[in-house]
C-alpha cells in the first residue's frame, strides 16, 4: 500500500521535501468485530490550502492534524471495496475524508457522501461537486445575499473555490472581477470562465488604485480568499452596506511575519457585513446545491478547471505546487482509475 507521509512539520511554506512516499503492507480486509468500517480504494486525492495548516501540527473540526511519519488525511474520491457500515456497500463510490494512500481502512466514517450522479467526472467531487463547491455555494449565496447588477470582486479567483464563485456571480447578473497571480490565470478568468475582467495582483504596486480602476463606483461583494494587503485595499473600496464573505486568508497561513489589516474600521463607517464561514456548517444544503449545480454542468453553463497530477509519488510536488500558487484550477492527485 503506497502512502504519502509527512516527513517534517513544515516551517513557513511547506514544500516537496516535507513529504515522503513509502510502501507498507496491509491486509485488504476489515478486522474481525469492526462493524462500522469501510475499506476503500482511493481514486482522487484533493490538494487543499488548509492542509498547510495541518502540516504544522494543527487540527480543525473533524479533520485531525497531520502527524509526523503518518499519512496525510484529507478529502478524496474513493471506491468501497468492502464494508461493515450500514450506509455503505461494496461498489459504492464515495467522497469525503480519506487518507493519502492507495487503500484505506476508515473506521466510523463521519464525512463520507455516497455519489449518486456518475455522468460527470468523478474528480469533480474533490472540487465543484465536493467541499470547494459547497464552500462557493454557502459563501456566495448564504453569506453575500447577492443581487442582480451588483459588483463582485474575488481574490484567488482562478482556484478551486474562486472559479465557481465567479461563474455563480455571472449567472446571477453581477459585474465580476477576479485577481490571480499569473498572466495565464488572468487569461483563463477573462477568456474561459466569463469574468468581466481580471488582473494580476503581483504586477500591481498599489492595490487600492488597481481596484479603483476596475470598480470606479465601488465593490458590493468581496469574496475573500487571501487576506493581508488585498483585504486592506478592498475595505477602502467597499460600497455602503457591502458584504464580505470571509472564506480564507491564504496569504497569512504560511507567513511567519503577518502584517496587520489597517482598514478594518471601514466595516463600521460603511456598514459592511463581513461574515466568516466554514463549509462544514452548511452540509444540510448539499442536496439543494446538487439540484442547482448538476444541470449547470450538464448543460455546459458552468466550466470547472482541474489541474491533475498522476500517481501518489507525485503527491509531494502537487502539494508543493499548490502552496507555491502554481496550480491553475483545482489541484488533484489521481491514484487509480
- Shortest separation between residue 37's beta carbon and ligand NDP, angstroms: 27
Residue showing cell 489541474: 307
Cβ atoms of residues 320 and 12 within 8 Å = no
Residue 13 or residue 20: which is nearer to ligand NDP going by CB? 13
141-167-298 Cα angle (round to 5):
100
Q: Which residue is nearest to ligand NDP (CB)?
A: 159
Question: Nearest Cα to 227, choosing from 276, 163, 167?
Answer: 276
Residue 60 or residue 265: which is nearer to ligand NDP going by CB? 60
The residues binding ligand NDP (CB under 6 A) are: 48-50, 132, 135, 156, 158-162, 180-182, 185, 225-226, 247-251, 277-279, 322, 325, 327, 330
Residue 2 or residue 326: which is nearer to ligand NDP going by CB? 326
Cβ neighbours for 127, distance < 8 A, ≥ 6 positions apart: 46, 133, 160, 304, 306, 330, 332
Residue 48 or residue 150: which is nearer to ligand NDP going by CB? 48
Cβ atoms of residues 137 and 163 within 8 Å = no
Give the CA count within 13 Å in the CB-facing half-sphere of 174: 28
Lookup: cell for 138? 454557502
Cβ neighbours for 298, distance < 8 A, ≥ 6 positions apart: 119, 120
- Shortest separation between residue 13's beta carbon and ligand NDP, angstroms: 8
Residue showing cell 472559479: 163
Residue 39 or residue 230: which is nearer to ligand NDP going by CB? 230
- Shortest separation between residue 269's beta carbon and ligand NDP, angstroms: 26
Residue 170 or residue 185: which is nearer to ligand NDP going by CB? 185
Residue 57 or residue 149: which is nearer to ligand NDP going by CB? 57
The helix or strand, by DSSP H or E, that contains position 78, with its residue range, turns out to be strand 73-83
- Shortest separation between residue 89's beta carbon and ligand NDP, angstroms: 29
- Shortest separation between residue 101's beta carbon and ligand NDP, angstroms: 22
Question: Nearest Cα to 226, choosing from 325, 318, 120?
Answer: 325
Q: How many CB atoms are located within 10 Å of the residue 136 CB?
A: 29
- Shortest separation between residue 82's beta carbon and ligand NDP, angstroms: 31
Amino acid at each position: 500500500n503506497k502512502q504519502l507521509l509527512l516527513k517534517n512539520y513544515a516551517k513557513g511554506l511547506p514544500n516537496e521535501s516535507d513529504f515522503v512516499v513509502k510502501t507498507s503492507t496491509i491486509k485488504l480486509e476489515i478486522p474481525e468485530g469492526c462493524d462500522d468500517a469501510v475499506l476503500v480504494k482511493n481514486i482522487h486525492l484533493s490538494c487543499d490550502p488548509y492542509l498547510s495548516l495541518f502540516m504544522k501540527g494543527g487540527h480543525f473540526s473533524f479533520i485531525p492534524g497531520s502527524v509526523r511519519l503518518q499519512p496525510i488525511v484529507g478529502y478524496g474520491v474513493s471506491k468501497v471495496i468492502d464494508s461493515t457500515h450500514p450506509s455503505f456497500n461494496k461498489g459504492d463510490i464515495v467522497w469525503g475524508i480519506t487518507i493519502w494512500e492507495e487503500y484505506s481502512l476508515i473506521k466510523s466514517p463521519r464525512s463520507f457522501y455516497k455519489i449518486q450522479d456518475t455522468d460527470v467526472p468523478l474528480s469533480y467531487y474533490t472540487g465543484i461537486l465536493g467541499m470547494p463547491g459547497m464552500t462557493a455555494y454557502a459563501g456566495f449565496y448564504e453569506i453575500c445575499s447577492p443581487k442582480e447588477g451588483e459588483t463582485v470582486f474575488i481574490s484567488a479567483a482562478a482556484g478551486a473555490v474562486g472559479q465557481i464563485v465567479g461563474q455563480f456571480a455571472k449567472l446571477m447578473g453581477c459585474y465580476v472581477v477576479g485577481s490571480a497571480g499569473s498572466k495565464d490565470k488572468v487569461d483563463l478568468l477573462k477568456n474561459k470562465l466569463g469574468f468581466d475582467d481580471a488582473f494580476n495582483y503581483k504586477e500591481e504596486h498599489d492595490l487600492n488604485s488597481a481596484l479603483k480602476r476596475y470598480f470606479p463606483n465601488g465593490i458590493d461583494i468581496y469574496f475573500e480568499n487571501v487576506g493581508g494587503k488585498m483585504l486592506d485595499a478592498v475595505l477602502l473600496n467597499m460600497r455602503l452596506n457591502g458584504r464580505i464573505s470571509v472564506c480564507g486568508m491564504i496569504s497569512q497561513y504560511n507567513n511567519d511575519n503577518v502584517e496587520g489589516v489597517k482598514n478594518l474600521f471601514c466595516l463600521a463607517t460603511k456598514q459592511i457585513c463581513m461574515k466568516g464561514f466554514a463549509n462544514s456548517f452548511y452540509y444540510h444544503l448539499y442536496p439543494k446545491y446538487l439540484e442547482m449545480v448538476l444541470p449547470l454542468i450538464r448543460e455546459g453553463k458552468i466550466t470547472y478547471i482541474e489541474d491533475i497530477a498522476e500517481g501518489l509519488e507525485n503527491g509531494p510536488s502537487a502539494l508543493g505546487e499548490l502552496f507555491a500558487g502554481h496550480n491553475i484550477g483545482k489541484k488533484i492527485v489521481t491514484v487509480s482509475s
